[in-house]
Chain A
Amino acid sequence: MSDRGTLRIQQISAHPGPVAGEGTQRQDKVCKLIDTTTCIGCKACEVACVEWNDMPFQTTYFDNTYQTMPDTDWNYWNLIKFNEDQHDDGSFAWLMRKHQCMHCEDPGCLRACPADGAIVQYSNGIVDFQQENCIGCQFCVSGCPFNIPKFNPNTKKVYKCTLCSDRVGAGLEPACIKACPTGCLHFGTKEDMKFMAENRATQLREVSGFQNAGVYDPDTIGGTHVIYVLHDATKPERYGNLPAKPRIPLSFTVWKDIFKPIGLFGAMLGFVGVVMHYVFEGPRREQPTPPVVRIDPPPPPAGKEN
């Protein structure tokens, strides 16, 4: 990762034309590995995130859980989800999952975004919001399969985890990784993280008796740059609604990329039609009324009904 200290852009939302410098240099894909099996729910990552990103505090309320708040927020990008997982056979687990932007390889938010440059994907895989370009339409919110982008009604902008692109761009690990006390969080190249994750999953299967342990790196969105090791990869829903097969709505793929231009073309056919009509058929000019041969009685006064 000799070039880890730079960020090159790979994709820009709603951008016409090529991306400057695209493909000129190869860059390793970065990845955050979250080993949920060693997460102790200490919330150090939450605090590190708030502090590094200098986010304002907010008032939270007791909600019958250790979880800080029900979901991430525009000023709270990193939330550990606590799940009491009781099974019929009496076994019980308390599953904790650090919930934040997954930095999809195929980001639904970027796909959905109509604002030029409001969302970029760096060639290292980080998906980053550029608030100065954000128009506040919140399409990214519905484009995201993980319910990550959060709207600030005051600034009318959308915010989310940046994978600390500012830190990564300077050759540092993200703040959450730095703060994690148990080493449940790792940061490195996607390849390395994938290797580590698979090894850990193997260990869980073979040593710890978690038959279904595995790695969460869903291919439905081209993989993610945040991957999980789960005790039970067959049921990611147990970890606080982590979708087994996250998908970008067809609105932002098939409709937006294919049918929208076609539809516009179709609508423009109306213009073509009228021009053709004018050329080939011509206008209908008003015809002189035929001669009056008899004076008819005067018209009825206005407003009269009959």
Chain B
Amino acid sequence: MTNGWIDIKNTDMMLIMGGNPAENHPCGFKWAVEAKLKRNAKMIVVDPRFTRTASQADQFLQIRAGADIAFLGGLINYAIENNRVAKEYLVNYTNAAFIIKEGFKLPEDGLFSGFDAATKSYNKSSWNYQEGGNETGKAVATPPMGVAGDIPGGAAPGSIGSVKQSQPQGSAPAGEHGSVTGHGAEGQGYQAQGPAGAKAMGGGPIPPPSLPPNIAYDLSLQHPRCVYQLLRQQYSRYTPEMVSRITGIPQDQLLKAYDLFTSVRINGDMKKVATIIYAVGWTQHSFGTQIIRTAAMVQLLMGNVGRAGGGVNALRGHSNIQGATDMAGIFDILPGYLKVPSPTDQDLKTYLDRITPTPAKPNEWQSFNYWSNTPKFMVSFLKAMYGNAATKDNDFAFNYLPKVDRNYSWVNIWNDMYEGTVKGFFAFGMNGVMIGPDSQKNIDALKKADFLVVCEIYPDETSAFWQAPGITPDDMKQINTTVYRLPGAGFAEKDGTFVNSARWLQWKHVALPPPGDCRLDQDILAQIFLKIRELYQKEGGKFPDPILKASWAYTLPEHPSLSEIAKEINGKALADISDEKSGVSLKAGQQLPGFAMLRDDGTTSSGNWLYCGSWTEAGAMMQRRGTEDPSGLGIYPNWGWSWPANRRVLYNRASCDLAGKPWDPTRSQVWWNETAQKWVGNDIPDFKPDSKPEEHMGPFIMNPEGVGRIFVPLGAMADGPFPEFYEPIESPIDNPLHPNQSSNPVVKKFKTAMDKYGTVKEGYNIICTTYRLTEHYHYWTKNNPMNVELVPEPFVEIPAELADQMGIRGGEKVKVTSARSDYIAKAMVTKRIKPMMVDGKKLYQIGMPIHWGFLGISESEGRTSKMPANRLTPTIIDPNAYTPEFKGFLVKLEKV
């Protein structure tokens, strides 16, 4: 979340889409309710089903699963055409005014410029800004169609231009970097059903093209190749008619919703704020990242990012998913969203040069470019990893880190195992067989593995994969996988932190000790590690150093305490250091107060720069329980600790106008204090604290441009600098925008015999989606009688009209078949899903919760078909975040 849970109460307008917070985040949803009660905020819910969230909405729209980009593109189009955009914000805080290189082409035919059909990938060099300077007013013989008249020039560029021009000019290639709206965690979706993906991997043997240091711009927004005009042109194709054809939402409802959402910005008035709330309903598509980007663009266009009650807010699917991502639960990042080294990074310098961005902006503007501190973060990280073994002479042991040569994302791992290259598998804190996609493929993959280690608190389907339905005792004899089951500890049986969606680190205490022979997960991991290290010591090996020299300085090496680890992650000074600017000085061994103190000379260590400040000399900030909220904005600065630097709302500089005054004085987060000559506020300013408004430093300090990216240049996205609507891989219709390029062109399909994809021609004519229920937590609570009492059995939700047609009554068993496999459960015939008209065709959607497998209370009572729902889902992944397309695939439905 750019904002936080409590901050939702400050909003005036909510668009909840691709998420079902009332069901999956009921505790957080209280703030949405609070906004309705206290601010008369409106709520628009867009979902394939009428969910419990929809029951709270002022307006509900039933959308075809996967048509989200079309809906949001239409919203952009509506906002532009009806002058409901934040003009000053747009011009000054986003790259709307930046001019794009000639040669860039919009995807009228479904493809951006640079597509290589052979590799199914883009050459992104044309997706770049034009070098130059101020082009304002110098436009163009033929003024482009547009609303140029509506857009004032923003800050007078001339005056700004005269302030300062001292940025270093493109000394090094900027490389591929940056994220959609800033911090890596936020621009992307995270999917709850599997480990998440991250940004596209950069790298490759050829140095990639870089951003120009001095970007050409047109503050009148009239240049035909300025981002704003391209945006306008791109989404002018998303007319209400077209959007209605694609999404299945009737035009009148669509326009009503657009009007309602954009009503916060009538005539550009900046007082009100709208938020967009989403979850894995957006991420789990073959274009999931792009849906979220579209939302980010809507919010930038309307000036809602960085403001209390605004933002783009990803609701994380687990209590600690944010923490898992921050701490590199993904193959292509290191803790703190540092990129993993690639084989071309032969030394630390090459690597740092590749990943450290340099400012790229109009010369007259400033950019903080916070990622320029990457070397400090990286060296401190290496010191935390390897301690004294990391010295300046050995590049701080940079070469101990693995160099990642290809895609090791979730679905790829299983594919590799299926193809026999992955031979062993450690499953901690997840149930891989159930997660899917294509559970049967995962089961078959495990049959080929040599060993499987599962650490769980219940016997789970992954550790019992050899007992899956359909496997006979004879078949079992053919399975040679050795399975080790390790009894882990439940969340209440260990201390440590959860990092919630709002980026808060909150410490929890042990409620009760693990029962029986169960052990704490960190103890299990530590003991495995120490055993492996012992083996390396004894037997040597190809490259034992990364194991032998890893820092393991815990009081009890076999039982590392989580508070020790938390302190290690925060980091400490390794020598006496002092910071001139802030006047802080530290003795060797003292905890660091924040990431501003990090050094790239090996005098500091920090396991994750983002968490630096969470456990300081003042104590465990993550354990704070202060309930003061002087501003009334729900900031609670003394409760827990929020990364980065205890900021509660990211990019909060954007909550003020150019002069540093809040857009809405009743929701003052930060502001420029003229007397003190610095940024102050109720929240911690997410900005260079002493940067005067006249310097025109962009609020989006994590981007080298300093501004929010409506157009994403270069390689940050694999499939286009603007989102384009593509059909899901399994779609009932051809893309009405460009039938010849129906689905995402850069999506690659897996090629094994298990990877099958269905079409309408083969009879797969019903759209199916999967989801979770309030009453259950993934594949755990099927073992808990209370949860089982609440919802005892799996079901398939079927529209009443379809059920009538097929003669299905509620409670009867139905079989859902996809190209992969089938699934049997009872029918829930409901009026909450209606048939819809999509591209002139009447279509039906069905859906099913995922919570049942072949082990559990109802399962052992024989009340289920013992089939994981993810038997049905396709092995298709988003090219940016590698999230599987769990939402919106094709099935057949029949009565059993």
Residues of A within 8 A of B (CB): 37-38, 40-44, 46-47, 50-51, 57-66, 68, 84, 86, 92-96, 181-184, 200, 203, 207-208
Contact = CB atoms under 8 A, between A and B. Distances in A.
B828 interface: yes
B227 to A, nearest CB: 38
A65 B832 CA distance: 11
Contacts of B789: 50, 57-60, 68
Interface string B783-825: 0011011111101000000000000001100000000000000
B34 A61 contact: no
Given A57-B785, A66-B791, A86-B831, A208 B58 contact: yes
B267 interface: no
B811 A63 contact: yes
A183 to B, nearest CB: 6
6 contacts: A41-B774, A42-B22, A44-B26, A62-B792, A64-B830, A183-B37
Interface string B43-82: 0000000101111101000000000000000000000000
Contacts of B33: 38, 40, 182-184
Given A40-B53, A84-B832, A203-B40, 11 more contacts: A40-B29, A43-B775, A46-B790, A57-B786, A62-B793, A64-B811, A84-B831, A94-B52, A181-B26, A181-B29, A181-B30
Interface residues of B, number: 38
For the complex of A and B, list the 10 residue pairs with the smallest distance between their C-beta atoms, beginning with the closest. A64-B810, A40-B22, A42-B26, A94-B55, A62-B793, A57-B785, A181-B27, A181-B26, A182-B33, A182-B30
B826 interface: yes
Contact of B50 (A41, A94, A200): A94
A54 to B, nearest CB: 12
B523 interface: no
B55 A207 contact: no
A120 to B, nearest CB: 30
A42 B786 CA distance: 14
Interface in B610-657: none
B446 interface: no
B704 to A, nearest CB: 41
A37 B54 CA distance: 12
A96 B27 CA distance: 17
Given A51-B786, A62-B826, A64-B811, A94 B54 contact: yes
B811 A50 contact: no
Contacts of B786: 47, 50-51, 57
Contacts of A182: 22, 26, 29-30, 33
A68 B26 contact: no
Contacts of A47: 786, 790
Contacts of B29: 40, 181-182
B285 to A, nearest CB: 25
Interface of B: 22-23, 26-27, 29-30, 33-34, 36-37, 40, 50, 52-56, 58, 774-775, 785-786, 788-793, 795, 810-811, 826-832
Nearest to B40: A207
Main secondary structure of the interface of A (DSSP, over half): loop
A62 B790 contact: no
A96 B55 contact: yes
Contacts of B785: 57
Contacts of A66: 52, 791
A51 B793 CA distance: 22
A64 B774 contact: no
Contacts of B34: 183
A40 B29 CA distance: 9
Contacts of B795: 62
A96 B22 CA distance: 13
B745 to A, nearest CB: 38
A62 B858 CA distance: 11
A41 B830 contact: no
Contacts of A93: 55
A203 B793 CA distance: 39
A207 B41 CA distance: 10
B792 A61 contact: yes
Contacts of B792: 59-62
Contacts of A200: 37
B831 A96 contact: no
A58 B56 CA distance: 30
B831 A41 contact: no
A81 B98 CA distance: 55
Which of B36, B50, B55, B791 has the most chain A CB atoms closer than 10 A to its own CB?
Answer: B55
A43 B811 contact: no
A137 B40 CA distance: 50
Which of A42, A57, A59, A184 has the most chain B CB atoms closer than 10 A to its own CB?
Answer: A42
B35 to A, nearest CB: 11
Contacts of B827: 64
Contacts of A60: 789-790, 792
A218 to B, nearest CB: 24
A61 B829 CA distance: 15
